[in-house]
Copies of this chain bind each other. A is one copy, B any other.
Amino acid sequence: MLLSSESRPATPRAADPLVAFAEIRALVLPVQRHYVNQLAPPVANIAGYHAGWLDEFGENLADPAGKALRPVLAVLAARAVGAPETTAVRAAVVAEMIHDFSLLHDDVIDGDRQRRHRPAAWVVFGTHAAILAGDALLAAAVRLTAETDRSADRRAVRRLLATVRELVRGQTLDVTFENRESVTPDEYSDMAQGKTAALLSCACSLGPLLAGAPDAVTGELAAFGFQLGMAFQFADDLLGLWGDPAATGKPVLADVHRRKKSAPVLAALNSGGTDARRLAELYERPGALSDDEATEAADLIERCGGKEWAEARAARHTASALTHLHRVEGEAEPLEELAALVRHITHRDR
């Protein structure tokens, strides 16, 4: 496709991960749709709505939503070990299907009514539909992983199932935390390992496993994905509190108004002292917070060291991710793109 150089200045790919995102998304999406369409008809429609390419009536949407972080990671990690493109795409589809399975069930469990800026699947199609579509996607993802007759598949299947176990563990902790008076930052990290980091790690190792890459290389890419997942979680928590509303599209201090006990909040609440007690008071009090109270809460979180702590954790995991990435001996271009992706994720504004 020809692009006008006036309207779209050419940028080196590694410098702009959004270009890689768009390219990989265009590569993966048709294959993902192909496999989702093989599910039984109502399930395929529900999964297609949830994934973002269908509307609630089963009609195609012009501009499918979603930033496809896991497919991008999967494709770049597979390319980094020189895997064939078909293997890279297969890994990407599997990772995204597992992500979608997990989100479909989590939204039912958490009662979250919004997903990807639209009503959640269970709101549109019912709880039963979201549970069954999740089940079908989980089974389809494992089936796709076990599709060929190469022995490498078996290790990828085991990795995938260990990841599902972690996702369930993380979501179970998350639900448990809702009913507990206090949660330590370490417990929160443990939950994030299961809910977020495990799948990013899996996305980075599926391609290498399927391609039969050396264990040492696969291990470094898995560790890279894990650390990136943790950095992603802390960066996300910081954006929920101090993100620019113009960039995030969410109201100012959205997570304070929702009283979401994200990492900076938990660190602040666990810091002890007068400020922490006042913060706990604001978070436990029934009824909505005024804008002044929300601002006060955000200031308290910062004064209690919550922001600094979360920033330090994000930085530590980012550095660790890059350390593991630099140890990977593989293809230069995809490795550079992965490094650019780290910077994009940890310095993003939305």
Please report A residues at the B interface, Cβ cutoff 8 Å. 39-40, 42-43, 105, 108-110, 127-129, 131-132, 134-136, 138-140, 142-143, 146, 149, 151, 153-154, 157-158, 161-162, 164-165, 167-169, 171-172, 175-176
Nearest Cβ on chain B to A348's Cβ, whole angstroms: 30
Contact, CB under 8 Å: A40 / B157: no
A–B Cβ pairs within 8 angstroms, 19 of them: A39-B165, A40-B165, A40-B168, A43-B169, A108-B127, A128-B171, A128-B175, A132-B168, A132-B171, A138-B138, A138-B164, A142-B142, A142-B161, A143-B158, A143-B162, A143-B165, A146-B146, A149-B151, A153-B154
Contact, CB under 8 Å: B136 / A139: no
Nearest Cβ on chain B to A177's Cβ, whole angstroms: 12
Nearest Cβ on chain B to A35's Cβ, whole angstroms: 12
Q: A127 — which chain B residues lie within 8 A by C-beta?
A: 108-109
Contact, CB under 8 Å: B131 / A131: yes
CA distance A132 to B162 in the complex (A): 14
Task: Please name 18 further chain A to chain B contacts, defined as beta carbons within 8 Å, in addition to the given A128-B171, A139-B165, A139-B168, sorted by A numbering.
Answer: A40-B169, A42-B176, A43-B168, A105-B131, A105-B135, A135-B138, A136-B164, A136-B168, A142-B142, A142-B161, A143-B158, A146-B154, A146-B157, A146-B161, A149-B154, A151-B151, A153-B154, A154-B154
Q: A168 — which chain B residues lie within 8 A by C-beta?
A: 40, 43, 132, 135-136, 139
CA distance A167 to B132 in the complex (A): 9
Q: A161 — which chain B residues lie within 8 A by C-beta?
A: 139-140, 142-143, 146
Nearest Cβ on chain B to A130's Cβ, whole angstroms: 10
Residue from A134, A149, A172 whose CB has the most chain B CB atoms within 10 Å: A172
Q: A157 — which chain B residues lie within 8 A by C-beta?
A: 142, 146, 157
CA distance A336 to B71 in the complex (A): 52
Nearest Cβ on chain B to A100's Cβ, whole angstroms: 13
Nearest Cβ on chain B to A155's Cβ, whole angstroms: 9
Contact of A172 among B42, B134, B139, B154 (CB under 8 A): B42
Q: A164 — which chain B residues lie within 8 A by C-beta?
A: 135-136, 138-139
- On whether A40 and B172 interact (CB within 8 A), knowing A153-B154, A154-B146, the answer reads yes
Nearest Cβ on chain B to A228's Cβ, whole angstroms: 23
Q: A136 — which chain B residues lie within 8 A by C-beta?
A: 164-165, 168
Q: Which 8 A-B pairs have the closest CB atoms?
A: A139-B164, A109-B128, A143-B161, A40-B169, A136-B168, A139-B161, A128-B175, A146-B157
